[in-house]
Structure formats: structure tokens, C-alpha cells
Structure 1
Amino acid sequence: MSMYKYLTLLNEIETKIKSGIYKQGEKIPSIRSLSEIYNCNKSTVISALNELERKHVIYSLPKSGYYVVTTKNVSDHGKVPKFNFSSSAPDPAVFPYLDFQHCINQAIDIYKNDLFIYGTPKGLPSLVDVIQKQLANYQVFTSKENIFITSGVQQALSILAALPFPNNKQTILLEQPGYHLFIEALQTMQIPVIGIRRTSEGINFTELERLFQEENIKFFYTMPRYHNPLGTSYSQKEKYEILKLAQKYDVFIVEDDYLVDFEQNSKADPIYSYDNSKNVIYLKSYSKIIFPGLRIGIAVIPDSLINVFSSYKRILDVDSSMLSQAALEIYINSGMFEKHKEKMNAAYYLRSKCLTTALKNNLNQSNQNLFKYTPVKNICVHTYVELDKRISCEKVINRLRRKSILVDGVNNNYLKSFPINDSIIKINVSNVDEEHIEEGVSQIVKEIY
């Protein structure tokens, strides 16, 4: 049986069920029909159908065929939100479970005992080779010696926050609002940290230069692409200006490119691509495009920090999961990652367009004084609206929650020492199907109004 044909058939049937082509309760094509449609033998079809039945996606009736499982009504006890605009995790409906399960099984067959002993702090060497080639697609050209596999980007950030830097500076600078988990980690570890405001217009470069010059900045942590939580991106000119100031004042840049795989503009290069003096540390995540439980991140570390970063990483956890690394290597090498990436890109781009259109459609003369939405050129799967100061953001969020519509504010995205803009509501459509986005956004706007 061809594993490729088996996975292709399985994914195709599941996609058609999720998209409604094969509707709940209805019979799907016969084994013979599927065999002819997909040009494969009946045993391949039967294996795919058995797997779908095992997952409770379909069920069989003797002498009748296979039918799509009808979703049971959820009791009030375990009420599921009607619209979840708060989750930033990938949509569970598109997790590549079976593909990745196949890669895990293959990894065990190939590497055997090597996966169940301690590895190396830098990561599985064969995965590092694959990552080096993949990074080049993002205009991140580096040697293998500079690449570290970490347990997610969060671990890389914790290590960087703790270790001494060659510039002998101590304070970390963050965009505000910013990544809430890193903010929480810094405040918990009591590491010196200050903020600089970021809005839909970007940041104030005069203020950035002042902070670089006066505040003993060790590194500036930034999300140039699809900022969390704003969803905005810096222009190439702004990226270059940030780098120029960092080089002038001997400040490192930690560039978190966590959504690079969803970039639609092929000319939108990272700050790292301009860096000749090695001031930029580049971070990449896989959790947003594959699934959150895959705790693998990439850190591209400058020569001046390799030894100390390696030492700190070894002390913290010896190495990251070897089994996950081996499976990821196979997943990328087999072409499954690129195929899944194209699928996710198409889905998220469509959702992003629907979100942008829905917000524009719901912004009219009667409510434009109550909230502000700033369209961005580089549309993202998440964005925000800013309420009039007289409207309580917390009350709007609570009213929406009672209607099973989940949205979030940004209070947790600010340092305790930084003035909070508590008029912002984040809207994320990672887990909202495109056909529901317009209705959901309309409900949000009505509640504001």
C-alpha cells in the first residue's frame, strides 16, 4: 500500500466532510467509487476508511456503506462558544495528526534507541541541516553552528533574558502591548525591563533612539511581522531604521518571526537579512502552523553568544525532545510541511480577508465615533479595534461572553509599569470559519453600539 496515496485519500475525505461536501448523516461514495476516483486499490481505500472510523469521523452499516457521523448536541454543561475570537492557536480542524503520527512512527523506526537517550544542546544534527536550508527560504542565511533547536520560542526567550550579553547591559526593551508570556516571565524573574509604545502607526523612532542611548538596553525584543496582539507589520524601511539604531548604540535585536510561514508578501524580509554586524537574534516557531503541542523553536544565535547560550541551555534542560525533532525532520523532508503550509496559508488568508471585509462593512457613520478600526496593508489573521474611552472594554467583553462570543482585551499584554490602553479589543479568526466571521463581527459591533 502506498503511504502517500493512503494519506492523500484520508485527508481528501476528511476535508470534504469538514467542508460539507459530504454532509453529516449522509453516505459517502462506495469503496469501488473511491478506488476509481483516486486511482488506488481497494485495500488503500479500506485502510483510510478504517482510520476515519477509528477517529469517529464516519461509521459503517453492514451491506450499506459508510456514513458521516452526526455531531451530537453539546449539553449546556459543556457549552462550546458560538464564536471564539480569542484563541490564537491553530485551528484543531486542520492539525496534521495523521501525517505527523506517520512521521513519529517512521522516526522511531529510523533512529530507534538514539531518540530515547540524551541528545545535544544544539539539537538533532540532521534536523539542524534541514532547518538551515528551510531558513534560507525566509532570507535567513546562517551556518549550522549558529542554529539551536529549543523547546519552543519561550525557552529561547527565557535563556536570552537570563544570560549576560557582550554589550554588558542589563535592561530589556519591549514593544507595548507585547507578548504576554514573555512579559510575565520577565516580571517573575525580576529582570530589568521597560517598554516603548507600538500602535497601528508603528513606533516613535525618536523615542527608540532616546531609550537606546540612555537606558542601558541589552536587547530590544520585537515582532516586526504580524505583531501580537495588534496584527500589524513594520515596513522594510522601519525594519532597517530599527537595525541602524541598534548598531549605532550597541543594542541587540531579538526578532520573533513566529508567523513567517503565513507571509503573503515575498519581498517582506526579516530584520536579520540586513544585519552584517551580527546584532540580530532570529527566532522562529512551529507551534502556530503545525500544532501548539509541538514544542520546537529555532534560535539563530550570533557568534558572540554561541558559547554562553549553549552553556545556559545545557543547564536548563540538557536538550529538547529528540522524538519531536526527528519527526519534524521527516515531516519537512518528505514535503508534508510545505503541503500543510500551503493549506494553512490559503485558509488563514481567506479568513484574514473575511475579517478585514467584515470590520469595514460594520464601520459606518452611526458607530464610527464608538470604535476605531485601522485597516493594514499586510492583512493578518488577528487584528484589533479601539473603543471610545467612554465605553468599558471589560463590560463589552463580559456581555459578549454571555452570548457565547469570546474576545479578549490587552491588559495582560502590558508591563505593570507601563500605561495600559484598556480600550483595545483583540479579534483573532484562527479558530473561526470564514462563513461565520461576518456574523460574529456584526455581533461584536452591535454589542459595542
Structure 2
Amino acid sequence: MHKYARLLTEIEQRIEAGEWKDGERLPSIREFAKTHHVSNSTVIQAYAELERRHLIYAIPKSGYRVVKQTRERQPDQHAPLDFASASPDPAVFPYLDFQHCINKAIDTYQNDLFTYGTASGLPSLVAALPSLLADDQVFTKPQRIAITSGVQQALSLLVTMPFPNKKQTVLIEQPSYHLLIKLLAMYNIPVIGIERTAAGIDLDELEKIFQTEPIKFFYTMPRFHNPLGTSLSAKQKKAIVELARAYEVYLVEDDYVADFETDAKVDPMYAYSPNDTVIYLKSYSKILFPGLRVGVAVLPEELCEIFATHKQLHDIDSSMLSQAALEIYYKSGMFARHKEKIRSSYSSRSERLRKALAKQAHDGAISMPLPHFVHTCLSLEKAGAVSAAIQRLRKRGVIANSADECFLAAGSSKPLLRLNVSRVPEEAIARGVEEIFAVLGNKR
């Protein structure tokens, strides 16, 4: 991230945290430049942007001061703790920035907005995406990129369109993405499952399935699996790619939260696929906001034409306004700054969840691998225990749900209690986890 963006983020966060009070004078341009080892022009640029957002104001010959803020009320200590919602925290949505980008997009692309676009997406955004995707170690050409209305549309197209391997059966992890399960059932697509645990996937079982079943593609979430919250190792990802290549099976890699990764050494499965085995899917709804509905599919060359044909018949094109706004958001540098901000927020929540669960493990309450992200599952002994625990938790002001919908059939599901802290106040995560384990009977 550029020095200007880092400086802007820091000032914004310090104002939001109340470090500088309403009306308080900010450090002078020269002082800030010296302490942060940047040029005066960088500070001037940051202050100008903050003034545009009405966070600070300038007084001639007196510097910059903090605008009086409309402070949010303190969280209600008696409000329910929502461990069930998986949607992003609205507090970190870039409303003002993106509003500016939408307005700019209307001015810049007014001619394009009043005509139908191409099935692959807004050409200028498609041309810019290889650079953006390269940050995730996904190196590709614009010709192999298709913009979709979220990952959900990409999955719908992949499920229904024919593949060159002429196979019909879809293999998914158990548990897996619940809406894909419903999609497969609606279209009556042959589907089988393979168990995914915190330790990963049984590679011997996977090879047996590839060898004996007509698998069209294997859908997987290698990074921050939903709902387990764990990730596959590099060794496992490489092995899965090799097996897929050997048995002519495509891999659909749903990297829906790639932007939240904090370890620069972690690569997607796509990085291990030199022979176009992997179909890479990514969403920008989680990092920005759900209503954006912009997803990206990076396709093997032999699938590009058939995918484009099916997409055009499905909805002609995806929202041109959303695409144009996303392009401006990225090219302006706002995306990199926002990604750093929201990544920090989610990393903090993940760490609090890990520490709270680690405390339970230390006390002997649980024995489980700790999650890598803001969500996880607790395994209970009996199926009925999950619904009973959910009811008892609700009475204690904690909302949670089961993972039943993440399995192909109710009879094949495991008694898993799903937890997600993306909407739980950070300071309440530890308290909520204690309440959960008290209800589960692991803590007296």
C-alpha cells in the first residue's frame, strides 16, 4: 500500500478511535511529515482527502482540526451476541468512498451504462483485473477472465454447462457451501461428497473417487473453508491438483475471501495448476459489501467460449455500474487502502476467537484445531445436542446455528455448531465463547 494510503488509514482510524477529540488540532503538515518519514505533499494529499470526507476541516493560518463526529452509541451489553450471521460488519463498509466511485462511474461511463455490455464484463475492468489478481498469485490474461454477478452466478453456470471431459457428476466437500448444495438439488445434478475435516481431505479416498466416478469437477474451498474455518496446506493443494490432472477432473476453487489473507506465503490452488486444471472463483462482495454483486471467474481456455455463451443467455451481462465503480475504486488506490483496513479488522476478530477457543482447550473443554478465520464449527456428540444447545444459547442472549444445511442430506450431516464472529463486537467475543461452553456443559 502506498505511503499516502497508509497515512490516510492511520489518521482515519485514530479519529474514529477518539484519539483526537472533536475540534482538536491535528499535527502540522511539517510535523506529520517528519514523524512518518513522508513528504509534505503526501501529508497535504491525505489531509485534503480527509477534508473531502468531512472528517477534518482547515482554519486559515491555524491548521487542521477534527470535525465534530456523530458518535455511535456504546454497544448494548444486553443485546444478543450474533454468532450466526456470516455477513460482513457494516461498520467497515466503504460507503463514502464507493459513493464517490459510483458518481464518477456515471460521469465516466455514461455511454456504456445505456447499452448492453459484453458477457465477459466491462472491457476496461477486465483489462485491469490481471494486475489485481496477481496480488493473490493468480496470473492470467484478460481473455480468460469473466465477470459474473457474484460467485453464485459462476457456480450456476458451471453446474449446468457441458465440460470437455464429458462427465456429469459434481464432487463437493462435506460440509460445503449450502447454496451450491441447493443449486445442485434444484437442477437434479448428480453429486457425491467427500469428508473435509480440520486436517483436510483424505487423498487416497479422493483418488479412488476420481478413478471410479465420472467427476465433472471437484468444488473446494482451500482457504478459510466455510463453515470449518480451516485451510488446506500447500502440500495438500499440490497433491489435489496432481490427482485432478491425472484423472481429467476440473477443480473449482472458491477463493471467496482471498483478500483477508495475512500470510503472503499462502498461495491459492490455482498457482499449482500449470495445465489449466483449476477454475478460479473470487468475490468482491465480502471485502466491499454484499450488494456489489461482482465476482470473477478465471477459466481454462477451452471453457471460455461455452461459459460466455451460457452467461449471455443467463443475464446478458452483469451490472455495468457496479463494474465501472469497482474499476475506479481499484485504480484510484482506494481498494488497497480499504483492503488493509478491513483485513486488520477481521484479523483482530480472528485472533480474539482463536484466543477464546485456546483458553477452552487449555481448560480441557475442547480438543480441536483452532480456526484460521472468523468462523469455525464445534463438534458435539449427538445430533440432537445441536438444536438443544441453540435453544439454550438463545435464552442466554447468544445466537448460533447448526451446519446441517452444509451437508448433502440430513442423514449425512454431523452435529456441528457453527460460530461466526464477523458481526459480534470484538470486546464481546471472549464473553460469548464462555457463554457457549457454559451451555454446552464443558464449564461449570
CA distance in 2, matches of 1:276, 1:43: 46
Is the aligned partner of 1:375 residue 2:370?
A: yes
The match for 1:360 is 358
In 2, Cα distance between equivalents of 1:47 and 1:271 = 41
Contact 2:53 2:96 in 1 (8 A): no
Letter in 1 for 2:158: L
- Any residues of structure 2 matched to 1:174-323 within 5 Å, and which? 174-323=172-321
CA distance in 1, matches of 2:174, 2:151: 19
Equivalent AA in structure 2 for residue 435 of structure 1: E
Give, in whole Å, the separation in 1 of the partners of 2:407 and 2:377. Answer: 15
CA contact (8 A) 1:372 1:387 kept: no
| SS across alignment from 2:296 | strand
Distance 1:36 1:354 in 2: 36
How has the CA–CA distance of structure 1 residues 200 and 328 changed in structure 2, closer, same or farther, with 3 Å as cutoff?
Answer: same
1:255 partner SS: strand
- 1:427 maps to which of 419, 423, 435: 419
CA–CA distance in structure 2, aligned partners of residues 261 and 74 of structure 1: 28
Correspondent of 2:164 among 163, 166, 176: 166
Q: CA–CA distance in 2 between the matches of 1:194 and 1:45?
A: 53
Structure 2 CA distance for aligned equivalents of residues 43 and 276 of structure 1 = 46
Which secondary structure does the structure 1 equivalent of 2:231 belong to? coil
Contact 1:34 1:45 in 2 (8 A): no
CA change 1:351–1:73 in 2 (3 A) is: closer
Partner of residue 117, structure 2: 119
List alignment gaps of at least 5 residues for structure 1. 53-64
1:137 and 1:195 map into 2 onto residues whose CA distance is 32
Change (3 A) 1:310 1:126: same
Equivalent pair of 1:172/1:219 in contact (CA under 8 Å)? yes
State whether structure 2 residue 408 is matched by structure 1 residue 415: yes
In 2, Cα distance between equivalents of 1:80 and 1:131: 45
Task: Note closer, same or farther for the CA distance 1:257–1:319 as it changes in structure 2 (3 Å cut).
Answer: same
Aligned with 1:312: secondary structure?
A: helix
1:40 Cα offset (Å):
6.5
Deviation at 1:163, TM superposition (A): 0.3
Q: Match of 2:35? A: none
Structural RMSD (CA): 3.0
Q: CA deviation at 1:259?
A: 1.2
Which letter does structure 2 place at the counterpart of 1:137? Answer: D
- Note if 1:327 corresponds to 2:331: no
Q: Scaled by the length of structure 1, what TM-score is found?
A: 0.85
- Provide the residue aligned with 1:62 in structure 2: none
Of residues 135, 139, 144, the one that matches 2:137 is 139
Count how many residue pairs are aligned between Structure 1 and Structure 2: 418
Tell me the alpha carbon deviations over residues 267-301 of structure 1, each in whole angstroms, 9 at most, x when there is no partner: 21111112122121000111111111110000011
- Corresponding position of 1:389: 382
In structure 2, C-alpha distance between the alignment counterparts of 1:290 and 1:188, rounded to whole Å: 30
What SS does the corresponding residue of 2:197 show, helix, strand or coil?
Answer: coil
1:17/1:68 contact within 8 Å kept: no
In structure 2, what is the Cα distance between the partners aligned to 1:109 and 1:130?
19
8 Å Cα contact 2:383-2:414 kept in structure 1: no
C-alpha displacement at 1:137, in angstroms? 1.8
Contact between 1:149 and 1:297, CA under 8 Å: does it hold in 2?
Answer: yes
Match 1:94 to one of 68, 92, 95: 92
Find the counterpart in structure 2 of residue 57 from structure 1: none
Pick closer, same or farther for the CA change 1:267–1:50 going to 2, 3 Å: closer
Unaligned runs of 5+ in 2: 33-42, 58-65
Cα distance per residue 1:369-391 (max 9 Å; x no partner): xx543225xx2121222123387
Write the distance in 1 (CA, Å) between the matches of 2:334 and 2:281.
Answer: 22
Q: Match for residue 82 of structure 2?
A: 84
TM-score normalised according to structure 2 size: 0.86
Find the counterpart in structure 2 of residue 448 from structure 1. 440
Q: Residue 174 of structure 1 contacts residue 194 of structure 1 at CA under 8 Å; is this kept in 2? A: yes
How far apart, in 1, do the equivalents of 2:186 and 2:165 lie? 24
| Structure 1 runs (4+) greater than 6 angstroms displaced | 11-14, 37-46, 72-75
In the alignment, which of 3, 14, 22 is matched to residue 28 of structure 1?
22
Q: CA deviation at 1:49?
A: 3.9
- 1:398 aligns with one of 391, 407, 411: 391
Residue 14 of structure 1, CA deviation? 6.7
Would you say the 8 A contact 1:287–1:293 is kept in 2? yes
Identity level (%):
48
CA distance in 2, matches of 1:302, 1:40: 46
Return the letter of the residue paired with 2:361. Answer: L
Write the distance in 1 (CA, Å) between the matches of 2:74 and 2:356: 29
**1: distance between equivalents of 2:385 and 2:391?**
10
Q: Distance in 2 between matches of 1:305 and 1:46?
A: 48
